[in-house]
Chains A and B, each alone.
Chain A
Amino acid sequence: MIQLLPMPEATVTPGVPKYLQEGYFVTFTDKWPDSLSWVKGKSFVIEKTNQVPYDLHYIIPSNDYRDVDISNSSDGEKIYPENTKTLYQIGVGFKPANLLCELFIPAGEYSQRLEYASMVPTLSSSTLKYLGAFKPEDTPYDDKRLFFYAVYKLEPLIMRLYVDTGIDYDKIIAGLLVNKCYMRQVVLTPEQARHSEVIRYYSELRW
């Protein structure tokens, strides 16, 4: 559901596309809730795709943040699908800035934390504000490496965009590439299942 692609250690030719393509298989684990029954435990083939770029921009003062809800809620940026047969694979990259980006799903629950009780992102701490925070160099605007997967009615995913100290204001430019994928449910052969992209529910990111 949330995925940071690492820098490759080697290149292959021809290159491997980062984004889901027509004919690719995706499988949603059975940990997805019953309220999202249209994907829970099901596999699909991508029948068609359409890539939609979109930029979000905010000017934020030092040591302050803005919570950006990318869902279709009233205050959200409306980046989620509206159709049960659609999967949005959303690539996010940032232009250079004095930025830390923390992720929450649903609101108030950190997606990136360690197992020790106090090891959670904490913006008021001079050290823990760097825990679980993505920086522009982790996912550059022109080489997006942070991916979200959104389906109809998924709980809101929040990007907390924090401008670190040492600057008066900074402009945060988040480049999105929404890869709209139209899915058809299929039963995968074992060979197809091995090549299928597994999409885990956010609760599986915390253990």
Chain B
Amino acid sequence: MPSRAIAMESTTVVFAAEKYNAKIIPNILTIDNYNGSQPAVISLQDRFTPSVTNGVPSPSVKKISRLKTTVDNGGLEIIGDALKDVEILGQAEVTIGTMDSSCFVTLGYDFE
């Protein structure tokens, strides 16, 4: 299972690029805001460009939030069960309300 731990030094961080012949299945999301300077408003995002279809001949980039949580400064949250059945169709990204280099996010995932 691949995983990455990244400091939220910008408001949007890419954790896994789209794998075209698979979906990304997140297994664990850890938000370590122990040394954070403010509550971390975290969103797990799915970014992709849909295919041309009968109904949408010129599709545009879509960014869909698949999970949201807020972790108080001084706190740590480990999300496992709540990720059950969450699928990322395109690129897996994590956004934070206010960037904070002391807030660390770890995402573990598989491909399916």
Which of chain B's residues have a CB closer than 8 A to the CB of A59? 48-51, 89-90
A159 to chain B, nearest CB (A): 13
A171 and B23 in contact, given A59-B48, A61-B50 (Cβ under 8 angstroms): yes
A95 within 8 A of B: yes
The segment from B7-15, B30-38, B54-62, B93-101 that touches chain A is B54-62
Complex: how many Å from CA A96 to CA B48? Answer: 19
A169 and B21 in contact, given A61-B55, A95-B112 (Cβ under 8 angstroms): no
Which of chain A's residues have a CB closer than 8 A to the CB of B21? 55, 57, 173, 175
- B contact residues, total (Cβ < 8 Å): 19
B76 within 8 A of A: no
Complex: how many Å from CA A168 to CA B55? Answer: 14
A61 and B23 in contact, given A168-B64, A169-B62 (Cβ under 8 angstroms): no
Interface contact A66-B64, CB-CB below 8 Å = no
B52 within 8 A of A: yes
Which of chain B's residues have a CB closer than 8 A to the CB of A170? 89
Q: How many CB-defined contacts (below 8 Å) exist between A and B?
A: 51
A82 within 8 A of B: no
Complex: how many Å from CA A173 to CA B21? Answer: 6
A138 to chain B, nearest CB (A): 19
Which of chain A's residues have a CB closer than 8 A to the CB of B79? none
Complex: how many Å from CA A59 to CA B20? Answer: 10
Which of chain B's residues have a CB closer than 8 A to the CB of A22? none
- A contact residues, total (Cβ < 8 Å): 19
Which of chain B's residues have a CB closer than 8 A to the CB of A96? 112
Which of chain B's residues have a CB closer than 8 A to the CB of A66? 51-54
B93 to chain A, nearest CB (A): 16
Which of chain B's residues have a CB closer than 8 A to the CB of A65? 53-55
Complex: how many Å from CA A57 to CA B53? Answer: 13
B41 within 8 A of A: no
23 contacts between A and B (CB under 8 A): A57-B21, A58-B51, A59-B49, A59-B89, A60-B51, A61-B53, A64-B54, A64-B56, A65-B53, A65-B54, A65-B55, A67-B54, A95-B22, A95-B23, A96-B112, A169-B48, A169-B50, A169-B64, A169-B89, A171-B89, A173-B22, A173-B23, A175-B21
Q: Which residues of B contact A (CB under 8 A)?
A: 20-23, 48-56, 62, 64, 87, 89-90, 112
